[in-house]
Amino acid sequence: MGGKNLQADNPTTWSITDALTRLRDRQISVAEYIAALTAACDAHKDLNAFTSWDHDRLRDDAEKVDAAGNAGQGLAGIPICFKDNINTATLTTGGGTGAMKNWQAPGNAPVAQALFNKGALLGAKGNMHELAFGITTNNAVTGAVHNPWNKAMIPGGSSGGIAAAVAAGMMPGGIGTDTGASVRLPASLCGVVGFRPTVGRYSSDGIIPISLTRDTAGPITRTVADTRLLDAVMAGTGAGAEIPAANTIRLGVSREYFFGNLDPAVADNATDVLDRLAGAGIELVVADIPDLARLDEAVSFPVVLFEFMRDLPAYLEQYNVGLTMQQLYEGIGSPDVKGLFGSQMGDEAMPEAVYQQAMTVDRPALQQTYADYFASHNLDAVVFPTSPLPARPTGDDETVELNGERVPTFPTFIRNTDPGSNAAIPGISLPCGLTPDGLPLGMELDGPAGSDERLLGVAAAIEPILDFSARPDLG
């Protein structure tokens, strides 16, 4: 596929692993590397990818790494951007919302600290859909994030700022959060890699929550190798599983749920991807996951809405934010988020009985359905288009066009990513093509619960088959 190669001489195009090699070999100093990235941040401010940053501090940190002489060891010298809902001791943690806009967390979230312990630098805080409750990252408080491939389009969300920054070469990698789509969808719409681990693989402490049953942090990078590296650090594991040979991989193709009513460009790309995978020796098993739509619907909103009103107040208290839920509500600027938040503070709140039904009956049934599917067909993963459609224009917050109809924006974009989230299984979105008008597309692999390292190995085997090296033309 066309586009600039990730190994070009421009430091803003380097993967994390490539940058580490160049830093270790003293081909470039950390100060020089950071200078290139901060210049890119300044040049692409119009993307509105970040809520806060401190380039002077970042330059000072770079000089300290150079002085210590350990550049390229571990993650030393690599700047990472963190979504604005992940606590960091420097730079604000605002959740993209008005009442918390200037709030300073008392310390680093464990997922951030693990990376800092390996020498990573805090690059910036990523803009996001307000309180992570949406997928457009059209935030009325912090401003809309723009897709670097076409600035009139959404970057996806809620980790839209992280994906836009990584795609634009402003940062080599970042950490977002994913409840139902929020790492994988923006990765797909921005042409980068997004990984959602099995829930519990990473600590959830120090992250502004929606639903602790469903929330997880997840890396957004340009390559699977970078994702594997960040995953191993955050999970505290070793190097990970070996990369399997293509002819040992078995992938499920569940057409009934994941391949219906796709945008024509997505459908054509998915067909091409499946043909390439089969041509490389990967065995595709066409078999539907039974009753998936009903089970997903029974779990999705009942869990999120009930736990939101339980878990967010607990975070506000635990970290001494100094705000009530009412004060938080009053500071919300985005109409979609304000309406949803307000509905749960009144008579429309999710009943506990519905939540208990979801948690004790429907969610276990969904998890068992996935487990049975993978086991009965001896699958490494199920493969499908990450999103039924590519990026759509900013401002299409309520409805978007799909195959000649106006359909609801949020449920349409998360249709394919949501079931795996509710089952708490790992999933990774890989960039795999462009629409005729130049917007990126992604294919997702969801694996069995706890198979994170095997799934990442499978993704690494598939990445060269997809052969995606295109980059957005930012002038």
pLDDT at 7 over 70: no
Average pLDDT over residues 105-112: 98
The token pair at 413 is 């974009």
- Alpha helices in 141-289, H assignment, sequence order: 160-167, 184-190, 224-235, 255-258, 264-279
Query: Tokens 């790492």 appear where?
Result: 183
Task: Specify the pLDDT at position 239.
Answer: 73
Evaluate if residue 6 carries a pLDDT over 60.
no
Length reported for the chain: 475
> What pLDDT, in 10s, does the model give residues 357-373?
999 999 999 999 999 99
- Give the position of tokens 């597309």: 441
Answer for the pair 15, 24: CB distance below 8 angstroms, yes or no: no
Residues forming the active site: 83, 158, 182
Name the 3-class secondary structure at 290: coil
pLDDT band at 463 (very low <50, low <70, confident <90, very high): very high
Provide long-range contacts, Cβ within 8 A and 24+ apart, for 201-205. Answer: 201/231, 201/234, 201/235, 201/426, 201/452, 202/110, 202/111, 202/234, 202/235, 203/109, 203/110, 203/111, 205/109, 205/110
Q: Cα separation of 12 and 79, whole Å?
A: 12
Identity at 452, one-letter amino acid code: D
Contact at 8 Å (CB) between 434 and 219? no
% the chain with pLDDT above 90: 97
pLDDT at residue 204 is higher than 80: yes
Three-state SS for 309?
A: helix
CB within 8 A of 247, min separation 6: which ones?
A: 281, 282, 283
Give residue limits of the domains in the chain. 11-466
CA–CA separation, 433 and 470 (whole Å): 9
Determine the average pLDDT of the residues in 6-14.
80
Q: Identify the pLDDT of residue 8.
A: 60
- With a cut of 60, say whether residue 118 has pLDDT above it: yes
- Interval 407-454: pLDDT, tens: 999 999 999 999 999 999 999 999 999 999 999 999 999 999 999 999
Q: How much of the chain, in percent, has pLDDT values that exceed 70?
A: 98
Structure confidence at residue 300 as a pLDDT band (50, 70, 90): very high
pLDDT at 175 over 90: yes
Give per-residue pLDDT as tens, 258-286. Answer: 999 999 999 999 999 999 999 999 999 99
Cis amide bond preceding 158, omega within 30: yes
* Residue 172 to residue 123: CA distance in whole angstroms: 10
Position 27 pLDDT exceeds 80? yes
66 pLDDT above the threshold of 90: yes
Q: Among 424, 154, 189, which Cα is nearest to 300's?
A: 424
pLDDT at 2 over 70: no
pLDDT at 1: 31
Longest CA pairwise span in the chain (Å) = 62
Give residue-wise pLDDT tens across range 311-361. Answer: 999 999 999 999 999 999 999 999 999 999 999 998 899 999 999 999 999
pLDDT confidence of residue 5 = 39
Residues contacting residue 317 through CB under 8 Å, at least 6 positions apart: none
Mean pLDDT of 453-471: 97
Nearest Cα residue to 49 out of 191, 168, 223, 181: 168
The rounded mean pLDDT for the chain is: 97
Radius of gyration of the chain (CA): 21
Please state the φ and ψ torsions of residue 250, each to the nearest 5 degrees.
-125, 125
pTM above 0.95, yes or no: yes
Pick the closest to residue 94 from 118, 130, 58, 47 (CA basis). Answer: 130
Tokens for 87? 């606590």
Instruction: Give the CATH number of domain 11-466; options: 1.10.8.50, 3.90.550.10, 3.60.20.10, 3.90.1300.10.
Output: 3.90.1300.10
H helices of 153-244, in order, are 160-167, 184-190, 224-235
pLDDT in tens, 213-263: 999 999 999 999 999 999 999 999 977 789 999 999 999 999 999 999 999
